[in-house]
Amino acid sequence: MNKLDKQFEGMMKEVRLDSPSPDFMIKVMSRIQAEAAVQHRPVQAYQPVISRKAWIIIGLAFLALLIYITVSGSDTATESTPGIWSTLLGSVEKINSTGMTSVWQKGMNIFGTIPPVALLILTASMALWTLDTYLTRLRHHSSKV
């Protein structure tokens, strides 16, 4: 092994290391800046994922669903499982100071016939709309900086 080590050492001494020229970094940086200037693309305006037209269609479809459920499904509500509306209605009946209970009952009967899936859809739609509005404002605010 000693003989091989000496041969290897001799070969390594003969090899000259390449080193860059003194102005290598300046040349590279100027080339990068020139290419960046050529490839500069204008910033596109932000467009929300769900457009205003799509939100209107979603809202109208949901409204149509609510109207359909209210008109055709009034007998589907069960009294065995009291929901949040029944609880609110019960607390309002206790107050009943100036006849507001009858008005409240008429308003809550509309919501009593809506199935939980429809309420979940409404909640999810409102959450998406709120998130979209917030992210749009955040995007416009950060682009001004």
Has residue 52 been placed in a domain?
Answer: no
8-67 tens-digit pLDDT: 888 888 877 778 888 888 999 998 888 877 776 666 777 788 888 988 998 899 888 888
Six-digit token pair at 50?
Answer: 């769900």
pTM: 0.29
Q: Does a structural domain hold residue 107?
A: yes
Domain total in the chain: 2
- Higher-pLDDT residue of 98, 134: 134
Model confidence at 99: pLDDT above 60: no
pLDDT at 57: 92
> Do the domain assignments include residue 136?
yes
For residues 90 and 108, the answer to whether their CB atoms sit within 8 Å is no
- Same domain, yes or no, for 142 and 123? yes
- Give 2 or 93, the one with higher predicted confidence: 2
On whether residue 69 sits in a domain, the answer given is no
Task: Please state which of the ranges 65-69, 70-74, 84-88, 141-145 shows the lowest mean pLDDT.
Answer: 141-145
Compute the distance between CA of residue 75 and CA of residue 28 in angstroms, rounded to an integer.
78
122 lies in the same domain as 145:
yes
Residue 101 lies in a domain: yes
Two tokens, residue 106: 């008429």
Determine, yes or no, domain membership for 124. yes
56 within a domain of the structure (yes/no): no
Position 92 confidence tier, pLDDT thresholds 50, 70, 90: low
132 lies in which domain range?
114-145
Q: Are residues 121 and 139 in the same domain?
A: yes
58 by Cβ neighbours in 10 Å (0-12 / 13-18 / 19+) ranks as middle
